[in-house]
Amino acid sequence: MAAQDLTLPGLTTRYTSFLDQVRRAYNGKAVIAIDELDKIHDPEQVKELLTEIKGALFVPGIFYLISISEDAARSFRRRLASGRDIFESTFDEIIDVRQIGVATAVAMLERREETGEDTERLPRACLEVAALFGGGIPREIIRARRTLSFAEVGAAGRTRRWAARILLKEELEQWEGHLGEANLSGADTIAIRRHARAAAECLQAGDDSEATYGKIRKALEPGIEIIDPQGLRHTVGYQAEGIAANTEAKSGDGPTPEQQAAAYRHIAGDLQALLRLLILTHLGERIVRPDEPRENYEARILECHRALADKPALAETLLDELRKGPEG
């Protein structure tokens, strides 16, 4: 007889039978972690996947830890208003894992520092800068720390200003080097590359002063209008069903909300990359003013980073408020 592929019910039965054996080996209970679902940003795809595997999730004594995207989590939070869906019927609870604060990030980095030579360890001030440039995300914070480790130390030594300059230089070079991958026309790519090079030249030629970072910001800001000339970031946002327009449908020959959403998806990544550079530029600008209060600022800059991943227009607004000063 020819071999037959297992059907989904048959595969589920075999899986639950295997879990029964696992439970007996682990005192009747087991925890299974399913990672990387947070990399699927389209909630509809997540719903389809959960629908297929749901029959295998409810086995007595088996508990699941599943990472999901912010869009899926938002759908769960809106369950009382939007009615039952696969998220509501699958998850018992959603735990929001927020960015780590600067103090926690520095403690994490200091533990890693203990394994290195004394001469290779970075001062706490530099670790704080790495934490802020990493946006509160552990993996990015460690990458920032690694970048500082390989950087040449200037005459002024390893200071907060030195760390900010090194990390912004790295980000600018990475951004400029990959502009050919941007979802822009050839003419727009050339135009925004000019702004990238102008910003890099400002950093290269200028000193570690507030004025230098101000010039970098002015060089970068026009790129926002090149990427998003229609201002889609102000009219389109993430919703539980995916990216959809927040504005009412337009009449006449104008673009529909669905068309706006599709256009926004096309530019979202490029817009986020540029806004991140502007956030980091402002961070460098603020670091050279050490006399101003830092604690509240650190929380607000991390809020900017978080908003950037979810809604760039909000990150842009928060950044504008930061520029107005501590009371902004």
User: Domain ranges in the chain?
Assistant: 15-90, 102-234+252-323
Q: Is 57 helix (H, G, I), strand (E, B) or coil?
A: helix
Question: Which whole-number Å values give the CA distances from 160 to 49, 109, 133, 290, in the listed order?
Answer: 46, 16, 12, 9
Q: What is the pLDDT of residue 326?
A: 53
Compute, in degrees rounded to 10, the torsion defined by CA atoms 95, 96, 98, 103.
-30
Q: Which of 282, 315, 312 is nearest to 297 (CA)?
A: 282
**Letter for the amino acid at 103?**
A
pLDDT in tens, 84-140: 677 777 888 888 878 898 999 999 999 887 776 655 688 999 999 999 999 999 999
CB-CB neighbours of 98 under 10 Å: 8
Percent of the chain with pLDDT over 90: 32
Question: Which whole-number Å values give the CA distances from 28 to 31, 60, 62, 77, 153, in the listed order?
Answer: 11, 9, 8, 32, 56
Percent of the chain with pLDDT over 70: 84
- Is pLDDT above 70 for 288? yes
Strand partners, 122: none
Q: What is the pLDDT of residue 291?
A: 66
Q: How confident is the model at residue 34 (pLDDT cuts 50, 70, 90)?
A: confident
pLDDT in tens, 153-196: 766 688 899 999 999 999 999 999 999 888 889 999 999 999 99
Question: Which whole-number Å values give the CA distances from 232 to 169, 223, 247, 262, in the listed order?
Answer: 29, 14, 11, 10
Q: How confident is the model at residue 143 (pLDDT cuts 50, 70, 90)?
A: very high
pLDDT in tens, 234-261: 876 543 334 444 444 444 566 677 777 7
d(CA 227, CA 110): 39
Q: Note if the pTM is more than 0.85.
A: no
